[in-house]
Structure 1
Amino acid sequence: MPADSPTVLATSGGLVAGSRTSWELGPLTEYAIELAGVTGRAPRVCFLATAQGDHPRTLVDFYDAARLRGLAASHLALFPMPNVPDVAEHLLAQDVVWVGGGSVAGLLAMWRLHGVDTAMRAAWEAGVVLTGVSAGSICWHVGGTTDSFGPDLRAVDDGLALVPFANGVHYDSEEQRRPLFQRLIADGTLPAGYATDDGVGVLYRGTRFVEALTERTGKLAYHVERGPDGTAVETPLDTRRL
């Protein structure tokens, strides 16, 4: 069941520590499922761990959490080969596509190699809700800040650009993130965009920002743009507590 318009919920959260599993779905991921509008059956949720090289432990943790939640769960793996015969068909059959964190540079390279980039755009246009955390947040945007290349953060500027903004993740918890994100926007490397503290997400309908949401009290999202004097201007956003 598609959402009523192309929908992205890009987050620095969505997972919480589990009592019986390694982790459980957090309020942000629950909200992504709610946005899909599924009634009368289990929501179909496909998980991608491309950014962690399809690490088996990550996939096991997802299925444990999905079983606890009662999802109709699947995953799309690309290592050592795609695990489904038709990537686009599989993604289009989902209510929600959920992308995990890790190397956003590696994720984008592998997605383009296997045509996942075009399949994701088709799914987005069809109303499949796209969500994810960290690398699974930056990927929907023009780009952002990444540790894909080492401990010194760098820019990534070849995201899928489903939404025409930059994205800053872990804005309050990793000390390099905020200054680099601001610098990249100030010097024009990245366009204006949205940044999220840990536990925060930003919702887009089509290419329009709709609202910021948080699963942690006191955490915020921010809009960052290039000011007339060539410096970055950061504006905290009203961030709704889920």
Structure 2
Amino acid sequence: MAADQPTIVATSGGFRAGHRTNLEFHRLVHHAVDLSGVHGRKPRLCHVGTANGDQRWFNADVSEAGALAGWEVSHLNLFTMPPTTDLAGWVGEHDVVWVGGGSVVNLLAVWQAHDLGSALRKAWQDGVVLGGVSAGSICWFTGGSTDSFGPELRVVTNGLGFLPYGNGVHYDSEEARRPTIHAAVASGELPVTHCTDDGAGLVYFGTELVEAVSERARGGAYVVRRDESSGAVQEDPLDVRRL
């Protein structure tokens, strides 16, 4: 099975504390699995923890969350080496790729070294749903704001560019996120930029934004653009469907 068309779920959420486990998959990850169209067998989810250094203890928590959900979970660890020379084939065996948060700068550098972007692009075009949280959201876009370099936010512009927009994450929970995005869009450093509050996600078919969703009762999503005639920045809220 595969998604009907190339699909990305870019979020500021997806995990929550478990009742009897450290971690559970929240509604955004379940939505990504639903979009993959799997039925009649266990969904196969590939977790990519590059942004957090492929921490084995966290992989164990994700595996436990997968067992609780009834899914098969594997981990694409690039530290200290990839699991195979055929990354495209390996990634393509899954229904969903979910990329965790951490340092998007380090993630992009390591992915470039291993040419993982090409493998992920092929998987996306072949119907594997791509998704992730925070760094695992920004990576699919042209760039976004990040604290990868230090506490003061900076902008990265070397994302994979599958989606031709900027991306803003944690828009409501970190005070500097909104002004950083606005300044980057105003200067032209970022193009039209799509942003999510914590718990919200954006669904794309191909490169088209088709829906904003949230696993929480509150939290929004926004489009930030520059008015080319005046140079002013405009932020428009999106309708958000609660999962």
- Could you state the TM-score of these two structures normalised by the residue count of structure 2? 0.98
Query: Which residue is equivalent to 1:206?
Result: 206
Task: Please report how far the alpha carbon of residue 232 of structure 1 lies from its aligned counterpart in structure 2 after TM superposition.
Answer: 1.4
Counterparts of 1:31 and 1:23, CA distance in 2: 17
Query: Which residue is equivalent to 2:119?
Result: 119
Deviations 1:138-158 (A, max 9, x none): 000000000110110100100
Task: Please report how far the alpha carbon of residue 131 of structure 1 lies from its aligned counterpart in structure 2 after TM superposition.
Answer: 0.6
Query: Which residue is equivalent to 1:7?
Result: 7
Is residue 163 of structure 1 aligned with residue 163 of structure 2? yes
SS at match of 1:83: coil
Task: Please report how far the alpha carbon of residue 218 of structure 1 lies from its aligned counterpart in structure 2 after TM superposition.
Answer: 2.1
**What value does the CA root-mean-square deviation take over the aligned residues?**
0.8
Letter of the aligned partner of 1:107 in structure 2? L
Letter of the aligned partner of 2:47 in structure 1? F
Which region of structure 1 is more displaced relative to structure 2, 78-87 or 11-20?
78-87
SS at match of 1:113: helix
Query: Which residue is equivalent to 1:235?
Result: 236
SS at match of 2:54: coil
Task: Please report how far the alpha carbon of residue 48 of structure 1 lies from its aligned counterpart in structure 2 after TM superposition.
Answer: 0.4
Letter of the aligned partner of 2:241 in structure 1? R
Task: Please report how far the alpha carbon of residue 130 of structure 1 lies from its aligned counterpart in structure 2 after TM superposition.
Answer: 0.3
Letter of the aligned partner of 2:51 in structure 1? A
Written as runs of structure 1 = structure 2, the 5 A alignment for 1:216-227 is 216-227=216-227
Task: Please report how far the alpha carbon of residue 72 of structure 1 lies from its aligned counterpart in structure 2 after TM superposition.
Answer: 1.2
Deviations 1:50-95 (A, max 9, x none): 0001011211111110111111111100001112342111111110
Query: Which residue is equivalent to 2:100?
Result: 100
Is residue 196 of structure 1 aligned with residue 225 of structure 2? no
Structure 1 runs of 4+ aligned residues shifted over 4 Å read none
Counterparts of 2:232 and 2:104, CA distance in 1: 26
Structure 2, unpaired ranges of 5+: none
SS at match of 2:195: strand
Counterparts of 1:182 and 1:2, CA distance in 2: 37
SS at match of 2:175: coil
Q: How many percent identity over aligned positions?
A: 53
Task: Please report how far the alpha carbon of residue 96 of structure 1 lies from its aligned counterpart in structure 2 after TM superposition.
Answer: 0.2
Counterparts of 1:139 and 1:52, CA distance in 2: 14
Kept in 2: contact 1:76–1:84 (CA 8 A): no
Counterparts of 2:30 and 2:207, CA distance in 1: 22
SS at match of 2:20: coil
Task: Please report how far the alpha carbon of residue 196 of structure 1 lies from its aligned counterpart in structure 2 after TM superposition.
Answer: 0.2
Counterparts of 2:232 and 2:134, CA distance in 1: 25
Structure 1, unpaired ranges of 5+: none
Counterparts of 1:4 and 1:94, CA distance in 2: 15
Query: Which residue is equivalent to 1:56?
Result: 56
Written as runs of structure 1 = structure 2, the 5 A alignment for 1:31-180 is 31-180=31-180
Task: Please report how far the alpha carbon of residue 2 of structure 1 lies from its aligned counterpart in structure 2 after TM superposition.
Answer: 1.2
Letter of the aligned partner of 1:238 in structure 2? D
Task: Please report how far the alpha carbon of residue 229 of structure 1 lies from its aligned counterpart in structure 2 after TM superposition.
Answer: 1.6
Task: Please report how far the alpha carbon of residue 115 of structure 1 lies from its aligned counterpart in structure 2 after TM superposition.
Answer: 1.3
Kept in 2: contact 1:36–1:128 (CA 8 A): yes
SS at match of 1:218: coil
Counterparts of 2:21 and 2:161, CA distance in 1: 34
Letter of the aligned partner of 2:162 in structure 1? L
Counterparts of 2:11 and 2:124, CA distance in 1: 17
Task: Please report how far the alpha carbon of residue 22 of structure 1 lies from its aligned counterpart in structure 2 after TM superposition.
Answer: 1.1
